[in-house]
Structure 1
Amino acid sequence: MTETRFKPPALCHRCLFENASDAIWFYDRNGHIVYANRASAELTGYTRTELKQKNLKDLLTTASEYDQIMDINSRIASGEEVKMPYEQKIRRHDGSIAVLRMATTLVKSADEVLGFQNIARDITEEIRRQQNMKSFVQDVIRAQEAERKRISRELHDEVAPLLLLLMQKIDNLSKQSERDIADCKPQLDALRSQSEEALESLRRIAQDLRPRILDDLGLIPALEWLTEKLAQDGQIHAESSIKGREVELTAEIQLLVFRIAQEAFNNIRKHSLATWVRLELEFKPKAILLTIQDNGKGFNLSEQTDNLAQNGKLGLAGMHERAQLIGGHIHILTHPGQGTTVIAEVPTVSTDIKQAS
């Protein structure tokens, strides 16, 4: 296609085109770049003259990416609605990779398709910051889990035996003759009762920090135990079910799925006013689906996921972060007066998981 047929931007728009902060370029149906503004040259590292000698495929990192863009262009030309903007990688003149947020529009003359216009913004640093923040959050969660495990182990192995020993000594004292202990018997009984309460509280705290059943028996018994524990309060009818063929899960997937369920149950107990809760764990070919449904009061969920923490919904934000840590995602369905459903979908195989222990 000649440059004379592919007319440059109209004179009244040339100033906007040339001085736009976003990169804008035009290319014909075969991908040959015809026009590019100054921001395009700054973004790619090529001069504008060099860009006009390039085909779009020269800027892309793989041949498959060129095929994908041609497919997008074909769909746009046929009138199909295509979601915009989309992310696209390019290779700069110096060999570095840039990530662009890009939108494509059709360029026509009468009924003839001349080519396409791209408007692109460099989001490489934005993506890098997001990845760094995600990595930081993941490290915090892993450190938190490791600390929980350490505290739980120390409570179980060091503090609990001391309380048991104290209770045994109280029992031994109580077995002495009534004449010797008549004056202090009520105090001994009260002391033993307090020791029993302290031991029970310690065991409960240790279980909540790092349930032994999860490490010893696995995810399914741990979720069933969690459901039974919720039902023991007497105010909520809780039930659980397992669907599909169970597959082996990594220790971290089991741990973080359990934490998602635990946080959902905590929210139900504290805020929902629910009288009925159902937990379902479904094994699919390449993922597991955890669904927790209640008949509570529900709530308005208008915030974006990124805004949950700053708006005080730390529990929901924590569930999202834990799901993302193992390559999954969370859906929350809720409305005032209609209960809440939390759905966590997690891949059963992850290639980028570190142990959180």
Structure 2
Amino acid sequence: MNYRINDIDRVIKNAIHVMEDSKYQIFEICESARQELLLITQELETVFKETAETIDKVDRLELDYRRSRIRLTEVSRDFVRYKEADIKAAYEKATQIQLDLMVYREKEAYLKSRRDELQKRVKNVEQSIERAETISSQVNVVLEYLSGDLNQVTRILESAKNRQAIGLKIIVAQEEERKRIAREIHDGPAQSLAHLVLRTEIAERMLQKKEFGLVQDELVDLKGQVRLGIEEIRKIIFNLRPMALDDLGLVPTLRKYVQDFEEKARIRTTFETVGREVRLPSAMEAAIYRLVQEAYTNALKHASPSIVSLGITYQAQIVKIVIQDNGTGFHVDLTEARAKDNSSFGLIGMRERVELLEGRMEIESAINQGTKITIHIPINAEPRKE
């Protein structure tokens, strides 16, 4: 058996090495594509601006050309008032305007063609980035699954299939969360920083031209952009792990979450606590926070409630969490069966988290009767010492 394990271990290590190299290659491809997308986007903005200016120029030239033709006709008919020099000047002016109009029409056609081409390239590059991110996500899932201890992998292979599926779902969920965070950073702070670089370059050019009034306005706007960027980063950090959990504890952090949920979702909420609050182990507080967050998110997505309530009861050896809504409800047995068949991580993931805490979760629901989730988690009644 040992030699088989060694052979498997060697194969897995070789596979991990190859996939690690592939992961970094995919990352480099992704970064190159993002840089290309940034350059194309900048060029597209320039082309949009030039196209608009050229269209305006063509419109003005067409108007001038019509006027010059009218003027030419006028001087050509009235030989008494206008001399040959007037006719020649009117003709030359009309010809020059006609030539300018032809040139700008050609430029307009070229810019429109270039604009369409750049828009297609932007779409293709965005699709390439999305495909690369998907492949990278899949590679990360496999890597994390293979990188575990071989004996643990062997035990998993010998365990029930449903536990294998749950383990893989956890890894997939973790990877999806990382992908979501990466997108938030890319679409939020990363874009803001790139925009700030461009704005500082504009301010620098203004300083060179000694346009101090415009520079002041630009700096005011830049300060606002920086504040927005800081706010976006703080939101991402809070979503990763609310710092208030460590500083204030579970109840104040949940109270703030419930208030924010009510403001954003426009759904009335209530929050009540019973018993003397005690500080729990950090991992347990984080797990309870995520369970409540998942329950509120599910209610918002699927139940369409007008009120969601949260209750926490501290007992001697157990903390009891009750999340209840007055939404559409569902058939519990049927929904959980579908969740298993469809690899859904909502209810299955919540149950798995509760089981990891050696607790139990009960769900009561019926169509048009709302939903009530009750979670019992065993705890040490002594407050955690800081």
Give the TM-score, by structure 1 length.
0.49
* Structure number with bigger Rg: 2
Which one has a larger percent helix, Structure 1 or Structure 2? 2
Give the TM-score, by structure 2 length.
0.46
